[in-house]
A and B are shown apart, each in its own frame.
Chain A
Amino acid sequence: MKAKLVYLAAAALLATSVQGADKVKIGYIGTLSGPSAQPGIDMRDAFQLAVKLNGGKLGGLPAEVLVGDDQFRPDVGRQLAEKYVKSDKVDFLTGIVFSNIMLASAPIAWDNKTIYISVNAAPSPLAGKDCNPLFFAASWPNDAYHEAAGQHATNRGYKSAYLIAPNYQAGKDSLTGFKRFYKGKVVGEVYTKLGQLDYAVELAQVRAAKPDALYIFLPGGMGINFIKQFVAAGMSNEIPLITSGFGADQDIIRPVGEAMLGLFDTAHWALDLDNAANKKFVAAFEKEYKRLPSVYAAQGYDTALLIDSAVRDTKGKIEDVEAVRKALKAAKFESVRGAFKFNRNQMPIQNYYLRVVAKDNQGRLVNKTMGTIFKDHGDAYVQDCKMK
């Protein structure tokens, strides 16, 4: 038994001694299986596309991207983080979709002086009192989409709203964000089990409460099932449904279909955003993967571009973590969302748009930009962050 371990140790030694410092190693952990896998798959595909379009390099150095599936489980994500950070000694850890998995796994990177760049989740504590120099959110502050949605509901004059989100940090952030900008009356605030797929019970409660609008934050498989069941219960004709961009993008449009038409949602990006980087991205993604990119894919792509800019600007000296941090903070890259800059808590400052699900000129269901809700919007927690 112990002989086996010694043998394995020797093998490991052999394996690691071949590695050099002349490439960028990325540990990429994503939720790639299960009913909520599509966002993770989109992100990973887009990330790898960006690397591919760059000739397999990031910032001029050959890029080695190790991809692992956290199976929607924090303990698995954590084990992968342990392996990538401690055993493979990656230069950047990234990719995680869900904030509960991220909160369990990213600390391993931080404990080992490795930078974590979030492609998606950016929970409010990390924007405020727990802000960390080794954490960069390339995506958005968790509350942002929901703040925009709350503002939209206020603009629309909905007097009462019923809110549903899953019971985890991002869920809590979502409804807090909505309430921050919604000036009407909240007649119900329900937190469902993360990963729950059958909403019969909750839908009956909503029906009984008779709100002016229903706001949901249910990403992935949760959203797919909820919207289908919402329509099946005949409630789509009775109660207007608003959701964040997470609940209304391509990963949900494809399985749900026409029932999504006319749904309003909010996001920081849309397919029809008019800038050169975005046009190139959408065309390349469609060509490579034969499907339209979602907001998640846009994120994966942008994160790769961000890393690319940082490696380039430190001229490949990525062992110098401080220099990499400075380069990341400068964020000198062509983002698909247009203007991009970091706040001093390393969360983005950007625009948020109102979108509606409609058909494009090829008859496909897409999100069309309807207007800007917030311009150069940061987050509400930055004053609690002690970073300069």
Chain B
Amino acid sequence: MSWILILEQSLNGLQFGLMLFLLAAGLTLVFGIMDMINLAHGSLYMLGAFIASTFVQLTGSFTLGVLLAVPATAVVGMILEMSLLRTLYARDHLSQVLATFALILIINELVRLVWGSDAALPGPAALSGPVELLPGLRYPSYRLLIIGVGLAVAVLLYLLVTKTKVGMLVRAGASNREMALAMGVNIKTLFTLVFGVGAALCAVAGAMLAPLFAVQVGMGENILILAFVVIVIGGIGSIRGALVGAVLVGVVDTIGRAFLPILLGAFFQPRVASAAGPALASVMIYLIMAVVLYFRPKGLFPARG
């Protein structure tokens, strides 16, 4: 067990966690402020990736393509909010769950109609090689970019939420919506804006992860559950909670996948150990969520007092 291995796996976990954070941040805000369960959040992630693939093809540049896709997806998100989702705020949770589930189906098929079942989004050629971080550790430079972007966005969000007026309104709405309303905050615009920011974050995650995974219909569903687990662990409505929760989940998942098979391999055959390792890592994440909820039913950093 070399230090290089541990360091490399930790970087992998951090990378995964930061992307999860981008998804979780938008989700927790929508949830915290509008009290709406939005299952279609994963669909915005998928849309971001598909839109990015088109822009990258059109412009021939990865950076430009991604930069264009982010506001484009934000606009789509805001239109969705203004037209449809707004009517759901007043409805009960079941209606929200079902309506947004219906949205997943609809958006999946619409994407299939427009783009087909999958699209290609190759990473920037300049970053297709490694960077020598330490002697013996040549880490893929593209993943370092992901970590960089994730951290930058986290800092930006922090500044936005704590240092700007809009951020203050967001925090007020998250901690006590009725009071914020009573104080005369223009709730409608605020909600639309928050939704737009959430969609933008999804797009960044979708576009950045696309070269590693694949841009395909249904990619949102898998990661959506993890995002929900993250915000439940972190505390609904809290961005700080989303960050802590996301990095925790990312690192646990990665370390689990990396080292559990080795641990199990001492007792079981390789094929069994290989299957059980990732499964146990996934189960661990839910166990962590259950434990957190038991001691802190509102999550680690609840936005509401």
Instruction: Verify whether A and B have any Cβ pair under 8 Å.
Output: yes
Residues in chain A within 8 A of chain B (CB atoms)? 33-35, 37, 167, 172, 189-193, 197-198, 200-201, 204-205, 207-208, 221, 225, 228-229, 231-235, 255
Chain B residues with CB under 8 A of A33: 117-118
The answer to whether A204 and B214 touch across the interface, beta carbons within 8 angstroms, is no
A161–chain B nearest beta-carbon distance, Å: 14
CB of B12 within 8 A of CB of A201, answer yes
B254 contacts partner chain A, Cβ-Cβ < 8 Å: yes
23 A-B pairs within 8 Å (CB atoms) are namely A34-B117, A37-B118, A167-B271, A197-B212, A197-B213, A198-B213, A200-B15, A201-B12, A201-B257, A204-B12, A205-B5, A207-B4, A208-B2, A208-B4, A225-B212, A229-B140, A229-B212, A231-B128, A232-B127, A232-B141, A234-B132, A234-B140, A255-B122
Our count of residue pairs bridging A and B at CB distance below 8 angstroms stands at: 82
A201 to B275, CA, bound (A): 15
Interchain nearest-CB distance for B218 vs A (Å) = 9
Residue of A nearest to B128 (CB): A232
Query: Residues of B with Cβ closer than 8 Å to A?
Result: 2, 4-5, 8-9, 12, 15, 117-118, 120, 122, 127-130, 132, 138-143, 212-214, 216, 254, 257-258, 261, 270-271, 274-275, 278
* B258 touches which of A37, A205, A225 (Cβ 8 Å): A205
- With A34-B118, A232-B128, A233-B140: A204-B258 Cβ-Cβ less than 8 Å: yes
Q: Tell me the minimal C-beta distance from B112 to chain A in angstroms.
A: 9
Contact: B278 with A193, CB < 8 Å? Answer: yes
Contact call B214/A197, Cβ cutoff below 8 A: yes
- Complex interface: chain B residues within 8 A of A191 (CB): 270-271, 274-275
Please provide the 3 A-B residue pairs with the shortest distance between their CB atoms, ordered closest to farther.
Answer: A234-B130, A191-B274, A234-B138
Indicate whether A233 sits within 8 Å of B213 (C-beta atoms), given known contacts A33-B118, A191-B270. no
List A contacts of B117 (CB < 8 A): 33-34, 37
Interface of B is mostly: helix
Inter-chain contact A192/B274, CB cutoff 8 Å: yes
Which residues of the other chain, B, contact A205 by a CB distance below 8 angstroms? 5, 258
* A35 & B214 in contact (Cβ 8 Å cutoff): yes
B213 CB contacts on chain A under 8 angstroms: 197-198, 225
Chain A residues contacting B129 (CB-CB under 8 Å) are: 231-232, 234
Shortest A201–chain B CB gap in Å is: 5
What is the CA–CA distance of A35 and B216 in the complex, to the nearest angstrom? 7
Nearest B residue (CB) for A198: B212
Name the B residues within 8 Å of A229 (CB-CB): 140, 212
Chain B residues within an 8 Å CB radius of A198: 212-213
Verify B271–A35 contact, CB threshold 8 A: no
Query: Shortest Cβ distance from B213 into chain A, in angstroms?
Result: 5
B184 to chain A, nearest CB (A): 47
C-alpha spacing A225/B128, complex, angstroms: 12
How distant is the Cα of A221 from the Cα of B271 in the complex, in angstroms? 21
Name B12's contact: one of A172, A190, A200 (CB within 8 Å): A200
Distance to closest chain B CB from A203 (angstroms): 9
Q: Complex: how many Å from CA A205 to CA B1?
A: 10
Given A190-B261, A201-B9, the answer on whether A34 and B128 have CB atoms closer than 8 Å is: no
B254: A residues at CB distance < 8 A: 200-201
> Which A residues are CB-close (under 8 A) to B274?
167, 190-192
Return chain A residues, CB-CB under 8 Å to B9.
201, 204
A35 and B258 contact, CB distance less than 8 A: no
Residue in A closest to B255 when the chains form the complex, CB atoms: A201
Who on chain A is nearest to B12 by CB? A200
